[in-house]
Amino acid sequence: MDITQNASTEKNPNKLYEYADDIIYSVRCAESEDFRKVRDAFSCGNEVIDHDFVDTEFDRKYVSYVVTDDSNGNIIAIYSLSCSACVYSIYDKNYFSPSAEIALFAVDQKYQDIKFKDGDDCLSSAIFSELIYFIFTMTDDTIGATKIVLYATPNAVPFYSKCGFVEFQKDMLQNQDRYLDGCTPMYTDIR
């Protein structure tokens, strides 16, 4: 996947750009050098998430991507995708619905909250929307799925809610991996 897009935010001395419209970026599969760059020069404000991305380099469960600033080579955002399933427990029987999982999504603090000139959207939302579109395309063309799932940290729940994700229904089982403790399982239907 290689996407080039214009994208920016309001004045903030810690931000590199005033508006998202001023940013040209590209998306590609992460390479070994990208994992080193994330380890050394990327921070989304959550050390666990930054560290988890670096740990995905050799984990075959995930395919990881980087969003890079074309003007300076900075990594703007990172994400990892995986196959998954929504498991429904109904009348003591389990039913599986094939799903794509966003195992990780993070935006570097220098690029967070940078809004477009029209003020309606921010760079993070635009990148996330493109990711969702990529998943929709992949599920149309490559492998079927009915849902996109993710496990949101408490601070990220409002962001994902604004992006159309909802908390799991009462009959949906959540992944019991220990590293997901404190996260909210969320999903959205694929068209």
Higher pLDDT, 176 or 11: 176
Q: Angle 63-188-84 (CA atoms, 0-180°, nearest 5)?
A: 40
pLDDT at 18 over 50: yes
User: Could you give the number of structural domains in the chain?
Assistant: 1
The CA distance from 42 to 49, in Å, is 11
Q: Across-strand partners of 172? A: 88
Range name among 104-118, 146-160, 163-177 with the lowest pLDDT average: 163-177
pLDDT at 6 over 60: no
The CA distance from 11 to 39, in Å, is 27
Range name among 57-61, 76-80, 149-153 with the lowest pLDDT average: 57-61
pLDDT at 173 over 80: no
185: domain CATH number? 3.40.630.30
Q: By residue range, what is the domain housing residue 122?
A: 4-189
Beta strands in 4-74 (DSSP E): 4-6, 24-29, 63-69
Q: Is the Cα dihedral 38, 40, 41, 46 positive or negative? A: positive
The two three-digit tokens of residue 123, written as one number = 């760079």
Q: Enter the pTM of the model.
A: 0.85
